[in-house]
Amino acid sequence: MAASEFEIIRRFFTPPGPGRNDVLAGVGDDAALLAVPPDSELVVCMDTLVAGVHFPKETAPAAIGYKALAVNLSDLAAMGAEPAWTTLSVTLPDNDMDWLEQFSRGFFGLASRYNVQLVGGDITRGPLNITVQAHGFVPAGQALYRQGARPGDLVCVTGSLGDAGLALHLGLTGEAPLRKRLDYPQPRIEAGIALRQYASAMIDISDGLLADLDHLLEADGLGALLRVDELPRSADFLSALDAAGPGCESLARDLTLSAGDDYELCFCIPELQRVAMEETLASIPCAVTAVGVIEEEPGIRCYRKDGSTYTPSTTGYQHFNRTD
Ligand code: ADP
Ligand code: MG
């Protein structure tokens, strides 16, 4: 890259501040050297963001930096992990200093909120593409998996669903609250850690509730009953829907069931744990709603509040479908 790759790393990708004690070598050496705390397990994940696929092309650079890290922190949250370190690979069409400045601000803003240190990475020229890896810890034996749900467990979700999908659907831009939800998803780190002591299985919702709950169910060959009228919707979702005019109810239902990018947690929990779990999440605070029940019979069966069955029109986002 013409304007010195090393200059770019020094200016935009060298973490501010003294850094974490468990980073023995970080950005600037040939590789990072990291000390995993005793009695902990290391949790590692990686996600790539491609312009036009994972975010609209006109997305603000600060939002791209934020979201690239946020989606990884969401995966750590879904394992019940506490985040610690991250690595970052950026492929850029050119060395636009303004872009880099804003990207870096978005990335480090979120990193510092969770005491996550950038410990290395790579930089190359090409079509815009961001890959982030995140690393966290769980006390040995306490991680949550997709596997582990039992028939009779409640199916719960944090926060609200469909906001990011509605922002995309309405083509919202800039400062619209729903667009913020798409650009700056909140990784549910504190909830993920708190749920270690209650949940039997957990996953984060990146591709839509139906698609991601299905992954969780497949892990044990189970099924679920889902009450579609109880799926949590935010105040912003409801008012944007009102503004969009009448007749949007089935769109709203399908977005809450199937739209991606919300990065909420979906987890299962024995009924007996419900009250304690709700108190714990309320103290964070993190909203939580019980939306269904695990059943023996594979598949997801959706019901309306009048008891009728409901067939969603789509299931969720997939990069490769059968016709590809
Ligand atoms: P090498 O040529 O040995 O692979 P690089 O020149 O790619 O090393 O990187 C030099 C140092 O800068 C390494 O510590 C690397 O981890 C770090 N680094 C490179 N790109 C980034 C980036 N985008 N973000 C953070 N650190 C980076
Ligand atoms: Mg080297």
Q: For the chain, where are the E strands, in sequence order? A: 23-25, 33-34, 40-50, 82-92, 117-125, 129-139, 154-158, 201-205, 223-227, 264-269, 288-295, 299-303, 309-310
| CB distance 37 to ligand 1 below 6 Å | no
Ligand nearest to the CA of 32: 1
Q: Has residue 235 got a pLDDT over 70?
A: yes
Whether residue 166 contacts residue 255, with contact meaning beta carbons closer than 8 Å, is answered with yes
| CB distance 121 to ligand 1 below 6 Å | yes
Q: What is the pTM for the complete model shown?
A: 0.94
pLDDT for residue 315: 63
| CB distance 4 to ligand 1 below 6 Å | no
CA 29 to ligand 2 centroid distance, Å? 7
Q: Has residue 262 got a pLDDT over 60?
A: yes
| CB distance 130 to ligand 1 below 6 Å | no
In DSSP notation, 76-90 reads HHHTTPEEEEEEEEE
CA 323 to ligand 1 centroid distance, Å? 39
Residue-wise pLDDT tens digits, 307-323: 999 998 866 555 555 44
Strands 82-92 and 117-125: parallel
CA 36 to ligand 2 centroid distance, Å? 23
Q: Has residue 171 got a pLDDT over 50?
A: yes
- Compute CA distances 291 → 16, 130, 210, 256, 282, whole Å: 42, 34, 12, 12, 17
Q: What is the mean pLDDT of the chain?
A: 94
Residues above pLDDT 90, as percent of the chain: 85
Tokens of 39: 């009695």
- Compute CA distances 322 → 156, 211, 245, 319, whole Å: 30, 15, 35, 10
CA 13 to ligand 1 centroid distance, Å? 9
CATH 3.90.650.10 fits 154-312, yes or no: yes
| CB distance 7 to ligand 1 below 6 Å | no
CB burial string 161-200: b at 16+ within 10 A, e below: bbbbbbbbbeebeeebebbbbbbbbbbbbbbbbbbbebbb
- Residue 48 burial (CB count, 10 A): 14
CATH superfamily of 5-139: PurM-like, N-terminal domain (3.30.1330.10)
pLDDT for residue 250: 87
The lowest-confidence range among 47-56, 195-204, 282-291 is: 47-56
Q: Is 149 helix (H, G, I), strand (E, B) or coil?
A: coil
Instruction: Enumerate the domain spans of the chain.
Output: 5-139, 154-312
| CB distance 28 to ligand 1 below 6 Å | yes
324 — pLDDT class (breaks 50, 70, 90): very low
Ligand nearest to the CA of 124: 1
Residue-wise pLDDT tens digits, 6-48: 899 999 999 887 899 999 999 999 999 999 999 999 999 999 9
